[in-house]
Amino acid sequence: MMKNKRTNTPSGSRRSFLTWLIVAAAGLIGISLAVPLAGYVASPALKRRELRWVDAGPMDDLPVGEPTQRDLVMTITDGYMEVAAVKGIWALRLATNEVTVYSPICTHLGCGYRWDAGEKEFKCPCHGSVFDLNGKVVGGPAPRSLDRLPVKIENGHLLVQYKEFKSGTKQQIEI
């Protein structure tokens, strides 16, 4: 006569159910750890996009029709670090008392450019791009006009939002 032996080892479909349960539990633990971690990693990158109005000095001494370089002194959040930065934007006061502010970065490959008061043009020393008073390309390899920055005037001061754009593209792409 044969005795029916019972063991403690799960068999067949019971074993595969347990395996599935363990995998599902591990997956849930993984997700519950990954979501806050992703938020923690991504938040500095999102913070970097936060735009602030930076004081670019009084309006009074901005000459009409002559681009003037003004320093924007600000704090930039780069990943987890806060670094002080100075950006020399170009401000052009118009006869209407409005102000156009240009990014100081050449749209070709990102060099700094200067205003040539004699020839009334912005000139980039790197590859010879030339822009007129309105920021339009009039010479050289620059693919688009100078980038304009958001500006407002408050209590007699010029306030600017500093942004950066991709160099070398025909379309303006904010980075």
- Residues of this chain that interact with ligand FES (CB under 6 A) are 106, 108-111, 124, 126-129, 140-142
User: Which residue, among 140, 149, 96, 88, has the nearest Cα to 115 in the 3D structure?
Assistant: 88
User: Which residue, among 157, 139, 155, 137, has the nearest Cα to 147 in the 3D structure?
Assistant: 137
Nearer of residues 76 and 126 to ligand FES, judged by Cβ = 126
Nearer of residues 128 and 150 to ligand FES, judged by Cβ = 128
Closest distance to ligand FES from the beta carbon of 53 (Å): 28
Closest distance to ligand FES from the beta carbon of 48 (Å): 24
DSSP assignment of 85-106 equals EEEEEEEEE-TTS-EEEE-SB-
- Return d(Cα 68, Cα 151) in angstroms, integer: 15
Closest distance to ligand FES from the beta carbon of 28 (Å): 52
- Return d(Cα 140, Cα 24) in angstroms, integer: 61
Nearer of residues 54 and 107 to ligand FES, judged by Cβ = 107
Q: What is residue 166's three-state secondary structure?
A: coil
Closest distance to ligand FES from the beta carbon of 129 (Å): 3
Nearer of residues 99 and 167 to ligand FES, judged by Cβ = 167
